[in-house]
Amino acid sequence: MALFLRESDIEKILTMRDAMRLVEHALRDFGNGAAQNQPRQRVRAPQGVLHVMPAGWFARGYVGFKAYTSFRGETRFYFHLFDANTGAYLAVMEANRLGQMRTGAASGVATKLLARRDAKSIGIIGTGWQAESQLQAVFAARTFEHVKCFSRDETHRTQFAEKMSALLDVTVEPVASARDAVVESDVVIAITTAAQPVVQGEWLKQGAHVNAAGGNWAARREVDTETVKRASAIFADSVEQTKLEAGDLILAVSENAIGWHQVQELSALVSGRATGRANDDDITLFKSCGIALEDVAVGSFVYERAREQGIGDILPFV
């Protein structure tokens, strides 16, 4: 029995704490060889782009892929899930909310493992829908006392601050510049569509952790070369995928600021095969591209809970 699940179904089922737990478990299995991930593939049509992302979480018995289209300013996301043992088609689900949650969850896992233990403040650049799950995730990972947010639109950042202050029961302060959001923050989050850096390395305080989570195009970056150069530990959710689409690191490598040997898999950190922060003064960096395995991790959970709770429509063609 295969299911079709809508965005509203995902919202009923998936919490950020669940998403973080699942992404962390899937990354641990990835690091131990019990999962597989393939980088995003893109087909460029005259009027838009088809993106396809496959992965398998063999330890849990699932394979799947997310396919989405970006045409004329509109993006449509769908996730497809299969049984890894029989090949049976299990579910197709609308996946905008799914992607938002898993992207935030990856940053939450990285923050849990890389930020200073005494980290209390956050600076976030970008105040869109994806920024909401970034904050939810880092608050699920740690306890923070203050957040500063910046985006170019004053009205947007004020509304974001009000919404997230109420949601997280913490003071979220809108500030007038990206620099103001970054300079005193223990954790810095970039979650924008910027083509040029919104985070300058010279702004970072000693001991800061940075999540660069907004970009997945080779010619675009949110953090500058100095940010990458200052980082003592650099992790990515997929080094292979990062080499194809993470301008933040591709451009830094092309400028000889770092070498690819310095970029490590987040899965290696989760599974205990890599060391992250060595001391409190280290600056650490997580480059998130958003990988297919994270979709399989949260999508398979949503499918299981939907079956248990009788949620979703049965697909007539399976």
| 94, burial (CB in 10 Å: exposed 0-12, middle 13-18, buried 19+) | middle
Q: What is the pLDDT of residue 318?
A: 67
Class of domain 106-290: alpha beta
Q: What is the pLDDT of residue 215?
A: 87
pTM for this model (two decimals): 0.96
- 168 close to 140: Cβ distance less than 8 angstroms: no
Which CATH topology does 3-99+293-314 take?
ornithine cyclodeaminase, domain 1 (3.30.1780)
Task: Compute the CA torsion angle 115, 116, 118, 121 (nearest 10 deg).
Answer: -50
Cα–Cα distance measured from residue 137 to residue 104, given in angstroms and rounded to the nearest whole number: 5
Q: What is the pLDDT of residue 317?
A: 77
Which among 202, 269, 278, 265 has a CA at the least distance from the CA of 239? 265
Alpha-helical regions (H) of the chain: 7-13, 16-31, 96-114, 129-141, 154-168, 178-182, 225-230, 239-245, 247-254, 266-270, 292-309
Q: What is the pLDDT of residue 137?
A: 98
Other residues' Cβ atoms within 10 Å of the Cβ of residue 290: 21
Q: What is the mean pLDDT of residues 13-42?
A: 97
- Mean pLDDT for all residues in the chain: 97
Q: What is the pLDDT of residue 191?
A: 98
- 122 close to 150: Cβ distance less than 8 angstroms: no
Taking only the tens place, the pLDDT of each residue in 273-312 is 999 999 999 999 999 999 999 999 999 999 999 999 999 9
Residue 94 neighbours by CB under 8 Å, 6+ apart: 5, 6, 7, 10, 77, 78, 79
Using DSSP bridges, classify how beta strands 41-45 and 48-57 pair: parallel, antiparallel or unpaired: antiparallel
Q: What is the mean pLDDT of residues 44-70?
A: 97
Q: What's phi and psi for 223, nearest 5 deg?
A: -115, 145
Taking only the tens place, the pLDDT of each residue in 163-214 is 999 999 999 999 999 999 999 999 999 999 999 999 999 999 999 999 999 9
Cα–Cα distance measured from residue 91 to residue 300, given in angstroms and rounded to the nearest whole number: 9
Residue 24 neighbours by CB under 8 Å, 6+ apart: 105, 109, 112, 270
Q: Where are the domains of the chain?
A: 3-99+293-314, 106-290
Which among 5, 163, 180 has a CA at the least distance from the CA of 93? 5
CA 277 from centre of chain:
20
Taking only the tens place, the pLDDT of each residue in 210-266 is 999 998 899 999 999 999 999 999 999 999 999 999 999 999 999 999 999 999 999
Residue 3 neighbours by CB under 8 Å, 6+ apart: 90, 91, 92, 93, 303, 306, 307, 312, 313, 314, 315
Three-state DSSP state, 43: strand
| For the chain, percent of residues with pLDDT exceeding 70 | 100
